[in-house]
Amino acid sequence: MIDNFWRDLPRPFFVLAPMEDVTDVVFRHVVSKAGRPDVFFTEFANTESFCHPEGSQSVRGRLTFTEDEQPMVAHIWGDKPEYFRQMSIGMAELGFRGIDINMGCPVPNVASKGKGSGLILRPEVAADIIQAAKAGGLPVSVKTRLGFTEVDEWREWLTHILKQDIANLSIHLRTRKEMSQVDAHWELIPEIKELRDRVAPDTLLTINGDILDREAGLKLVKEYGVDGVMIGRGIFQNPFAFEKEPKEHSSEELLDLLRLHLDLYDKYSKDLELRPFTALHRFFK
């Protein structure tokens, strides 16, 4: 392994969740200006597209990053181990510090094809993918859910993933079926942590789901003793969610972030795919 940066992070550490059509280089820089997390993930990058001569260009913008964002983790998805092997080598060459595998995306046209959360139903393929992704020498982490349909699937599924010798396991505390329509199952954190401690004590445990800001995350860490906190949709309610000393922010400060977002979009427009201002609309409604 080149360098397992996860071991050097503060405890607890905070991560901006990977979000499709949102967490590109522009959005990450805006968040960093407001309050920087400890780790950044890219938006979703497809392994098959990256490995295909005609598709690699479409993935390029999703993998654009700057050195001041390090440690930078490539969040990748698919279902063919060979593509994960090839892409992991490519990510190391591009300067990424880690690989994170998507095993939680609930979108029907992804999950129904056995990708994203669909891998929960294909545990052996999931294991093969994890091992293949280690080819580049980067630490491999996984982001997943409690299960596909039922909450009680979590024990068998997470045990299987924890046995794969990964650096970090990020768990969205809902099933694929639940999407984000029910409260996250925080009540399961103690049992999940006990499972991690028993099966894979060297694997870090990060929780995700209904965590709005650093302050809320710190309360969960104090109560449950997890290693990391991942914030996703909470960033849309409060772009300053990661700031270490919460305070009231003026409308002028929000406008400054808006101006920065627009300026950075112009700066990186050649690297990014043409897209609507999805992230911008969520920030400034």
249 is in an annotated binding site: no
Helix (H) and strand (E) counts in the chain: 12, 9
- Identity of residue 36: R
275 is in an annotated binding site: no
Residue 126 per-residue DSSP state: H
Spell out where 48-203 has E strands.
72-77, 98-103, 140-145, 168-172
Q: Could you tell me the two tokens for 249?
A: 């922010």
Q: Could you tell me the two tokens for 83?
A: 């593509």
Closest CA to 117 of 168, 156, 186, 171: 171
DSSP string, 251-270: HHHHHHHHHHHHHHHHHHTT
Closest CA to 64 of 10, 25, 111: 25
234 is in an annotated binding site: no
Distance CA 247, CA 212 (A): 15
Q: Is 18 exposed, middle or buried (0-12, 13-18, 19+ CB in 10 A)?
A: buried
SS3 283: helix
Q: Could you tell me the two tokens for 77?
A: 């998805």
Q: Which of 15, 87, 103, 105 is catalytic?
A: 105
Is 105 labeled as catalytic in the residue annotation? yes
36 is in an annotated binding site: no
- CB neighbour burial string for 51-72, b if at least 16 within 10 angstroms, e if fewer: beeeeeeebebbbbbeeebebb
Closest CA to 229 of 23, 71, 73, 38: 38
Q: Which residues are annotated as a binding site for FMN?
A: 143, 172, 232-233
Q: Which residues are annotated as a binding site?
A: 143, 172, 232-233
Residues catalogued as catalytic: 105
